[in-house]
Amino acid sequence: MKKLRTAVAAGFTLLEVIIVMVIIGIAATAVLTMVANLSNRQTDNSDLQVGAQLLQECGEYIVAQHRRDKTFYVSQLASSATCFGLSSFGGFGQPNVVVTAMTAGSDGCPASPAECKLVTITVTKSGTSLNPLNIMLVKYN
């Protein structure tokens, strides 16, 4: 006659339980590492969005003023400056505007009687700059 197994004999051994706990611990460590990296990437993404919005805001202001105010091209875009009253935000400094006169008929500037200026806008956070925004403004005489 066959002997029936008892409940104790049908369970897991201590070694099997320890191995499963180690595997679960390794998997949990991997998941926690991925979650921590995801949080860092979200912070970087947020910084990029803030910087891009500052660049866009400054660029839109310059283009709008160029269209609205006929003296803006000559008086305000005469030299490099910060972005005309736009303040720093989110750890980024004020957008910096560099104005460079272009030669008519070259580098994408239409031939005379047009005048062109290349406006380069940059923003910096903790010594690191985003890619600059370049705008070419044309004034037809």
Residue 121 lies in a domain: yes
Determine the pLDDT at residue 39. Answer: 72
* In a domain? residue 132: yes
- Is 49 part of a structural domain of the chain? yes
Specify the 3-state DSSP secondary structure of 23. helix
**Is 5 among the domain residues?**
no
| Blockwise average pLDDT, block size 10, the chain, 141 residues | 57 90 93 80 82 90 86 78 78 88 83 86 88 89 75
Its domain, for residue 67, covers 14-140
Among 133, 50, 43, 31, smallest CA distance to 88 is for 50
pLDDT value, residue 121: 92
Tokens 């006169």 belong to 101
Per DSSP, the three-state class of 123 is coil
Phi/psi at 60 (nearest 5 deg)? -65, -40
- For position 75, what pLDDT does the model report? 79
Report if residue 7 sits inside a domain.
Answer: no
Residue 51 burial by Cβ neighbours in a 10 Å radius (0-12, 13-18, 19+): buried
Count other C-beta atoms under 10 Å from residue 114's C-beta.
14
pLDDT at 134: 93
Dihedral pair phi/psi, residue 9, rounded to 5°: -70, -25
* pTM for this entry: 0.67
Number of domains in the chain: 1
Q: Give the number of other CB atoms < 10 A from CB of residue 92.
A: 21
CB 105, CB 98: distance < 8 Å: no
Residue 83 in any domain: the answer is yes
Q: Is residue 39 part of a domain?
A: yes
Q: pLDDT at position 27, please?
A: 93
- Does residue 8 belong to any structural domain of this protein? no
Q: How many CA atoms lie within 13 A of 75 on its CB side?
A: 6
